[in-house]
Structure 1
Amino acid sequence: MDGRYDPVVGLLRGTVLSSSHPVSHPIRESSWYAFGLMMRNGPSDQQRAERILGVILDNQYPAQDGTDHESPWAGSFRRSPDEPLPTEKAVAWKEYDPNWREFIGCEFALTLHVFGSRLPPELRQRLHESIRQAVQGELHNRRLLPSYTNIAIMFGQLLDEDAVYRRDSAMAGIREKWVHDTVAIFRQNQSFMEYNSPTYYGVDLFGLGLWRRYGSTNFMKSSGDDISKRLWLDIATFYSAPMKNLAGPYDRAYGMDMESYVALVGDWIGTVVPRSKAPLPATMTVETPHLADLWFAPTFVFLKATLPDSIGNDFLTLTQPHDLTRRIDSSRSVSARVDRNFLAGGETAHLQRGVDAGSQYHPLAVQWRTSCGQVGTLRISDTPAADVTIEQGQALVSWKDHVTFALHDPCADTLKIDRNSWEAGNMRIQVQTDAVSSSHASDHKDVVIRYERGHFSRLVFTVLR
């Protein structure tokens, strides 16, 4: 990260694919770097960290204690200093990101807990006031629900920080209800609504780590510890060490192969296994998708992964291939196969969830280790609605109107596709379907296969040795 620091601006320089919103000088990611500098505490590290924190604070949108004229972005932060002030009709996640309240606010909170005594009093005061601004802006906005898992957990910590610092009993009451509601959702089925996300499970573990270390109530501390361990157990159950991937389905994912992009779960696992065993890209450049998520790693190293003893070496070896099922809530369930050279996962939701080109939701996720050593993938890329069940090496896919599958084979020029048979190197997929029509389009590594006027497909997978 040191090489990406811009002393003129006082922030890190962005990368081509820094995050979901590429920026010139990413403010959130610079807050992670500042914490890492304070951890390292080398010559001039603290001076640089203080400069970064000051620049970030200067780029917070002010909140006015929840007045009726509060803007939807109040208390959040610019994503980069050159980002223009949002206009009245600004769209969240395009012109601004409301979640920067929680991401940056929680990093400020951690910095205060760990290094507050080393910071100048004026800077400490500004950080506390920034957390208050983030809380006020979020409360006024009323957009957040406890089911928005990763942000809800972090917001619980911010409520706690503000209530304790200002000795505010009313805020403490808001915190109590929020934390209990967030935990209650998990307790229903031992699962979060943002289920099985290679990126956002990493944020969950961050927020829960703050709860267990710095929560001001016994309930926060014990819930943070217990849910962290249960989440790690679920991650380990879905994980194949030989594949270096989590089996799907993915409620939210930015990629299909953790060896091809930086996922925060990969960062976390990388803190407990040798680098060569971590589910991260083997080599990284500024072109690596979500490269900047790697910069969260110093925070994860400090918080430490709380792995249950029963996990053992699950992130180093796959002891036994297995099938599994989980219930997310009353209408959603998942099934998966975890093997040494093959992963498949599916989600059913009573045909109430669809997929489009920009979707992070993957109700079907299939990966296999190809003959050239890389990971091949299959997903649904477009459908009004689909349910997927994994059974005995098969995917049973129910869909409405039409469905499009996207298949990626990193081994060049091995794709052979027709209506009832797909061949991608060492992967053979037999297809049974009631679709009236089918079509496909491909280049040398990727193909999309579309079925129309039907409602069912059965995919039978065979990975050749």
Structure 2
Amino acid sequence: MVLFKSILAFFAVGLTLGSEFPSNETYSQNLLRESMAWMDMFYDADAGYLYDLDSNALVHGTRHSAWYAAGLLARNKHDDVEQALKITRNVISGQFKDPEKQWYGDYQIYPEEPTVGTDHYPAVMYNSWDPNWRGFIGTTFVLMMEEFPDLIPNDDQSLIIESLYNTSVGDSYRVGGVDGDNLYPAYSNPSIMRAFVSGWTGRKIGDANMTLAAETYASEVIELFERDNTLSEFNSGTYAGVSLYALTLWAKYMPEDSVMRQKGASMIKYTWETLSSLYNANIRNVAGPWDRSYGYDMTRYLSILALQIWTIIGKDKSPMNAKPYAMGHKGDFAIGPLVAILAPFHNSLLEKTSVPSTLLQFPGEHNVETTAFSPPFDTYPRNITAYLSANLTLGAETFSEDAIGGPATSANSFNPAVAQWLRPDGTVGWATYHPQVKSLVAIAGQGFLSLTYPDWQGGDKDNVGAFVILIGTNSPTGTRDITGWDGVEGVAVTITGNINMQPTISFNGIYGGAGEVINSFSVFEFWNFTYTVPSGITEAPNMMLQFKVKGE
């Protein structure tokens, strides 16, 4: 029965997925239609959940199902509302209800999972349970209540409000540095969502303490942002998109007496001011550095920021493939309905700015300088520099932190020095520094990246390090095997500095090579160029990379 329904859904939406953009459809309506048509194929009406969007043996997924439910209410055709309410009840039934547990008020990763916190399924934050899902699902429920109250019966509204109360209380358990939690105000995307859900719920139920706590927390996020009008979680293709989504909730749904309403719109504008200054419309990418990235080319992995751009300038001009569901990290296409629902309001805030035109046409060669700060991880604000020309972008950030891998302590997602260039066939080449140290002086300028290890201790054997540069594979028409920079397609690179000039070169691929690829949901194969530091040097190790796009 389920298979038969899936086949029917495929035939019902197959033409829609590949159809041309209708002339009477806005960009946001186009995103809603396409993202919903894709998810329709994964919906299990008998269970009232989406199947896992990464195709994990027909198990179901909770967060994506909640996002789909909001899209069903927005579409409101046939039995969409009935199915949306069914999904909502299912998601709430899987909410954790024991207030003694750290994961109280959170939601299941998937309904088939064992009981979190048992011997056979230990409670491991960001694995068996994810505290950020309180924010992702909680904000979705608020959006549904705000946008579609007439479609939600009173009993279901009461159920949602009770769930939001539980998730707000559970989120109050989160204190950065306590019980392994990393939620500080500098963790931008969940912090903005936390403040919103608690502030909205506190007002809804008349809980003055919850409301005050939310406003206080939001003020901490705002104070950190207004230091240089940047998100602490800087320039992430995925999480800048989430932060913009959550800030839109602040600006649209919070009352006038809330600091979130008072600051939300300006924070959106300033965030876009930074993002658009780093955006190269020729390459259709936001230049580095990236605090957290699931890929190295936005035209190949699906980022939530690209969905935002889709609603502003259209899918064909945005960093999207014609088939978004074929891109890496495709599961985030499921948030498309939420972005689409909020787009008319969100985009209205940008109408009198230069953002839309900058996203459409590269304004010319320029430099960008700014800072971002993520206490308590940073010992001082990260200094960010970038250089953009017609076919080349270079970005870097200087940092001194308490762990390798940036505030997220993930060397695989932290990209503090990045180069991208346009290749002859129109595809994007890239190179990124893979973090090896807690402190780095990284500067981007006209055609160069400079990398220095400032904490060098005079050549002690424990401090003999390396500079590791990851380089994307060539296009299908380029050289398959790379033995040096001469084989890297589309760019000429000159290396100078006090390092060993002959790198060790290896390949990391999907099916083999020297090691594994980095991001399992957004697979980019790469060549690893490792430049070692001579053990005898006493001055700080430095590596200078000078880039020139071939043919210019």
Taking structure 2 as the reference length, what is the TM-score of the superposition?
0.78
Question: What residue number does 1:321 align with?
Answer: 365
**Aligned-partner SS, 1:188:** coil
**Aligned-partner SS, 1:227:** helix
Question: What residue number does 2:420 align with?
Answer: 367
Letter in 1 for 2:429: G
Instruction: Choose from 432, 442, 460 the match for 1:388.
Output: 442
Question: What residue number does 2:222 align with?
Answer: 183
Residue 46 (structure 2) pairs with residue 8 (structure 1): yes
**Aligned-partner SS, 2:148:** helix
Contact kept? 1:159, 1:171, Cα under 8 Å: yes
Q: Which moved more, 1:312-321 or 1:344-353?
A: 344-353
Residue 404 (structure 2) pairs with residue 343 (structure 1): no
Question: What residue number does 1:43 align with?
Answer: 78
Deviation at 1:222, TM superposition (A): 2.1
Residue 505 (structure 2) pairs with residue 440 (structure 1): yes
Instruction: Choose from 304, 321, 339 the match for 1:300.
Output: 339
**CA distances 1:28-50 after superposition (whole Å, capped 9, x unpaired):** 11111111111111111101111
Contact kept? 1:357, 1:381, Cα under 8 Å: no
Contact kept? 1:5, 1:12, Cα under 8 Å: yes
Identity %: 25
Unpaired segments of 5 or more residues in structure 1?
65-69
Question: What residue number does 1:67 align with?
Answer: none
Deviation at 1:352, TM superposition (A): 5.9
**CA distances 1:272-320 after superposition (whole Å, capped 9, x unpaired):** 11221011123344x5322121121221122123315231411111121
Question: What residue number does 1:413 align with?
Answer: 479
Deviation at 1:140, TM superposition (A): 2.4
**CA distances 1:69-126 after superposition (whole Å, capped 9, x unpaired):** x212111111111122222652211211111001100100111111123211111111
State how far apart, in whole Å, the 1-side matches of 2:339 and 2:196 are: 16
Contact kept? 1:363, 1:387, Cα under 8 Å: no
State how far apart, in whole Å, the 1-side matches of 2:508 and 2:114 are: 39
Residue 451 (structure 2) pairs with residue 397 (structure 1): yes
Deviation at 1:227, TM superposition (A): 0.6
State how far apart, in whole Å, the 1-side matches of 2:227 and 2:410 are: 32
Question: What residue number does 1:109 align with?
Answer: 142
State how far apart, in whole Å, the 2-side matches of 1:446 and 1:219 are: 45
Deviation at 1:242, TM superposition (A): 1.1
**Aligned-partner SS, 1:371:** coil
**CA distances 1:407-435 after superposition (whole Å, capped 9, x unpaired):** 013324266544xx554122111111322
**CA distances 1:360-390 after superposition (whole Å, capped 9, x unpaired):** 1100111111123211111123412433210
**CA distances 1:131-154 after superposition (whole Å, capped 9, x unpaired):** 111111121243432111100101
State how far apart, in whole Å, the 2-side matches of 1:372 and 1:415 are: 18
Instruction: Choose from 219, 238, 258 the match for 1:199.
Output: 238
State how far apart, in whole Å, the 2-side matches of 1:289 and 1:396 are: 30
Deviation at 1:24, TM superposition (A): 3.0
Letter in 2 for 1:245: N
CA RMSD of superposed structures (Å): 2.2
Residue 95 (structure 2) pairs with residue 31 (structure 1): no
Contact kept? 1:366, 1:378, Cα under 8 Å: yes
- Label 1:116 to 1:297 Cα distance change in 2 as closer, same or farther (>3 A): same
Instruction: Choose from 492, 510, 532 the match for 1:452.
Output: 532
Taking structure 1 as the reference length, what is the TM-score of the superposition?
0.92
Residue 183 (structure 2) pairs with residue 118 (structure 1): no
**Aligned-partner SS, 1:313:** helix
**Aligned-partner SS, 1:302:** helix
Letter in 2 for 1:439: T
**Aligned-partner SS, 1:55:** helix
Letter in 1 for 2:127: K
State how far apart, in whole Å, the 2-side matches of 1:352 and 1:175 are: 28
Q: Which moved more, 1:435-444 or 1:273-282?
A: 435-444
Question: What residue number does 2:323 align with?
Answer: 283
| Equivalent residues, number | 454
Question: What residue number does 2:493 align with?
Answer: 429
State how far apart, in whole Å, the 2-side matches of 1:422 and 1:458 are: 17
Instruction: Choose from 234, 246, 254 the match for 2:286.
Output: 246
State how far apart, in whole Å, the 2-side matches of 1:422 and 1:17 are: 40
